[in-house]
A and B are shown apart, each in its own frame.
Chain A
Amino acid sequence: MSRIDWIVLAAWLISIVGYGLWRGRQSKTVSQYLLAGKTMPWYAMGLSIMATQASAITFISTTGQAYVDGMRFVQFYFGLPLAMVILCATAVPIFHRARVYTAYEYLEQRFDGRTRALVTLIFLIQRGLAAGISLYAPAVALSVVLGLPDQITTLLMGALVIVYTSLGGIKAVTWADVQQMTVILAALVLALIVAIRLLPPDVSFTGALSIAGAAGRLNPVVWKFDWNDRYNVWSGLIGGMFLALAYFGTDQSQVQRYLTGKSVGQSRLSLLFNAMAKIPMQFFILFIGVMVFVLFVFARPPITFHPVAYARMQSSPEYPQLQSRYNQAWQRRSEAAHAIAATGSDVAKASFRAAQKDFDAARSDAGKLAARVQGEDVFNDTNYIFLTYVKTYMPIGVVGLVVGVIFSAAMSSISGEINSLATVTIIDVYRRHVRPHGSDRHYLWASRLATAFWGVYAVVFASNAGHGFGALIETVNVVGSLFYGGMLGVFVLAFFFKKVGGRGAFWGVLAGEAVIFAAWEFTKIAFLWYNVIGCFVVIVSGVAISALMGEKVRHAAIE
């Protein structure tokens, strides 16, 4: 990066912290610190929810995913609007009426302390792991691109997040998210414009679409049903709906956002804003990845996008022949693409597809070589595609801004995570089990310390993740889906099954989790379905256990 890029990056990061602190300066009570005094407008909550979801790794991975696999990933979000409507009609008014700080606090009102403790524990494990990974994954990607040790990027992001989150609370987090989301969207638009403008003069926009279409990259809808396929309309609508229900309805990092609303209506509007904006936004991000793919059809990309692996593999004896094979495949593909842009003929498209196949085969062999020189079992350079594009083709100054945006996308996710972890730690653990009758000032400072603790934990976890926990990232992505089904099931029992009591809920969650873990261990079912399976098992077993035990139910919290 140039000096101007570094200045832009530094100015951007300082502005995030400064703006967050300025916005959160009035957080002087626990309610203000954890719930922004319930004063937030819908657009701030809506953008904050969106920013927390759009982590840096999602941002750089999604474009990379479109590059290698096309746009079908967008179907993952088809269930989100369905979930939002259900939550607006149920969870949002229920949580507001219950006047709670956390979703799990409501479970004690409805069931008992044991069920609340169990779900709290599940949340702390799942979200605690995610917080470390949210920091680690982008820190590593950025460190490779910036040429800095990953400990430096981890520490930099972690320290900035800890400062504004622990001092300013949820208000600082939310307004910093609004600022970040606005600039993220602007940077994405810039990235798309630059990719299109860099195409050769004889390739029009529709010509670029024809090339992407011939490569099978313009595939946002796949109707074919397959249990083992993550991305088709059915897994998106059904599995995605259950995942979104669990994420927005039971995960404190999201629930806390809409609990800050100044009215039930404002909270509903924030979720419905996401329901309508999320799918087009993901389509747009994927489309950028597709245009980057078309650009690299004409501008030869490196044989692998991972700079360190690329440097190492060049000393391997197989490298010269592999690079030559790759160059020839790229040349044939580029010529065929020019023919598609000129004629659009089926012959040109068939020729392009054949060249693409050879190109993919050469890249696959390069991936195997990279894995070997890196000493890894599996090699994946998807996260480096967009960063390579930004670093190589974006104008001076904009590179710094886009890298800053990737930093801030990571920070917005981490700030939401450590804020919610601190809230649950104080409300559901410390105040509930350790010190029930402290003063407001005491809990405010305890919340600040808990936020700093979780921030430091995330930094320590991320700093050590690369040293002995290499395969953990992939595992942790699955771990999240292992718990959401159980959490969703217990809230469905709470909202809709009035005859189910504490024992049914508690043992139902354990039964649901047992079945999800069995499905994970012994079947190949795609992870999106775990949420559906887990939820149903919790409901059925919860209802059955409650009926068998003849439980008495606390009706006061249901209505």
Chain B
Amino acid sequence: MFDNEEVRQVADEPPPFLKRWPRVYAVVLAWLAVVIGLFYAFTRAWAP
């Protein structure tokens, strides 16, 4: 660290919603699956 200053130690904290981080991660992964599914439907609908 520098002579007269240190990098501030920051706190870990629970997410603002869903209470636990693994649940938030699961929502993100579910979102990815939904997006790919929607894009696939879009591709099929407008295929040449």
Nearest to B14 among chain A residues (CB) is A265
Inter-chain contact B43/A219, CB cutoff 8 Å: yes
CA–CA, A212 and B2, complex, Å: 58
User: A450 within 8 Å of B by Cβ?
Assistant: no
> B11 contacts which chain A residues (CB < 8 A)?
263-264
**Contacts A88-B21, A264-B12, A275-B28 given: A439-B4 contact, CB under 8 Å?**
yes
CA distance A49 to B14 in the complex (A): 22
Does A85 lie within 8 Å of B7, measured CB to CB? no
Q: How far is the CA of A220 from the CA of B39 in the complex (A)?
A: 6
Given the known interface contacts A38-B10, A82-B29, A268-B21, the answer about A30 and B5 at a Cβ–Cβ threshold of 8 Å is yes
Q: Which single residue of chain B is at the shortest CB-CB distance from A93?
A: B12
Q: Mark B6-47, 1 if CB is under 8 A from A, else 0.
A: 111111111110000100110011011001100110110111
Selected from B2, B13, B48, the residue in CB contact (under 8 A) with A214 is: B48
Q: A31-B8, A219-B43, A262-B10 are in contact. Are A233 and B36 (CB under 8 A)?
A: yes
Looking at the assembled complex, report how far the CB atom of A39 sits from the nearest CB atom of chain B, in whole angstroms. Answer: 9
CA distance A37 to B5 in the complex (A): 10
- Are B7 and A101 in contact (CB-based, < 8 A)? yes
Contact of A35 among B7, B42, B46, B48 (CB under 8 A): B7
The reply to whether B7 and A38 contact each other, CB–CB distance below 8 Å, is yes
* A-B contact number at CB 8 A: 109
Q: Which residues of B contact A37 (CB under 8 A)?
A: 8
Q: How far is the CB of B12 from chain A (nearest CB, A)?
A: 4
The total of chain B residues at the interface (CB under 8 A) is 33
A99 touches B28 (CB 8 A): no
| Contact string against B for A residues 403-438, beta-carbon threshold 8 Å, 1 for contact and 0 otherwise | 000000000000000000000000000000000011
Q: Which of A30, A101, A276 contacts B31 (CB 8 A)?
A: A276
Instruction: Check A48 for interface membership: any CB of B closer than 8 A.
Output: no
Decide: A99 and B4 in contact? CB cutoff 8 A. no
Taking a contact as CB atoms under 8 Å apart, the answer to whether B39 and A74 are in contact is yes
Q: Is the C-beta of A23 less than 8 angstroms from some C-beta in chain B? A: no
- Quote the shortest CB–CB distance from A151 to chain B (angstroms): 39
- A200 on the interface (CB 8 Å rule)? no
- Residues of chain B within 8 A of A263, CB atoms compared: 10-13
**Contacting B8 at CB < 8 Å: which of A38, A212, A213, A438?**
A38
**Contact bitstring A231-260, B, C-beta under 8 A = 1, else 0:** 001000000000000000000000000000
Q: Is the CB of A353 closer than 8 A to any CB of chain B?
A: yes
Q: How far is the CB of A413 from chain B (nearest CB, A)?
A: 25
- Prevailing SS type, chain A contact patch: helix
Query: Which residue of chain A is the closest to B26 with respect to CB atoms?
Result: A85
A280 within 8 A of B: yes
In the complex, chain A residues 10-38 whose Cβ is within 8 Å of any chain B Cβ: 29-31, 35, 37-38
Measured between beta carbons, the chain A residues less than 8 angstroms from B42 are 218, 220-221
CB-defined contacts of A275 to chain B, threshold 8 Å: 28, 31-32
Minimal beta-carbon separation of B46 from chain A (angstroms) = 3
Q: Please name all residues of chain B whose beta carbon is closer than 8 Å to the beta carbon of A353 when the two chains form the complex.
A: 48
Is the C-beta of A216 less than 8 angstroms from some C-beta in chain B? yes
Smallest Cβ-Cβ distance to A272: which chain B residue: B28
Chain B residues whose C-beta falls within 8 Å of the C-beta of A89 in the assembled complex: 21, 25
A440 within 8 A of B: yes
Chain A residue with the shortest CB-CB distance to B43: A221
- Per-residue interface assignment for chain A, residues 209 to 229, with 1 indicating a CB less than 8 Å from any chain B CB and 0 otherwise: 110111110111110000000
Q: How far is the CB of B18 from chain A (nearest CB, A)?
A: 11
Q: Which of A436-469 contact B (CB under 8 A)?
A: 437-440, 443
* A483 at interface by CB-CB < 8 Å: no
Q: Which of A74, A100, A215, A269 is within 8 Å of B7, CB to CB?
A: A100
Q: What are 24 A-B contacts defined by CB distance under 8 Å?
A: A31-B8, A37-B8, A38-B8, A74-B39, A88-B25, A89-B25, A96-B12, A100-B7, A101-B7, A213-B46, A214-B48, A218-B43, A220-B43, A221-B40, A222-B43, A262-B10, A263-B11, A264-B12, A265-B12, A265-B15, A269-B16, A272-B28, A276-B28, A439-B4
Q: Given contact pairs A209-B46, A272-B24, enumerate 19 new A-B contacts (beta carbons under 8 Å).
A: A30-B5, A74-B39, A78-B36, A81-B28, A82-B32, A85-B28, A88-B25, A218-B43, A221-B36, A221-B39, A221-B42, A263-B10, A263-B11, A268-B15, A276-B28, A283-B39, A353-B48, A438-B3, A440-B2
Q: Across chains A and B, which 5 residue pairs bring their CB atoms closest together, nearest first?
A: A213-B46, A218-B46, A265-B13, A220-B39, A264-B12
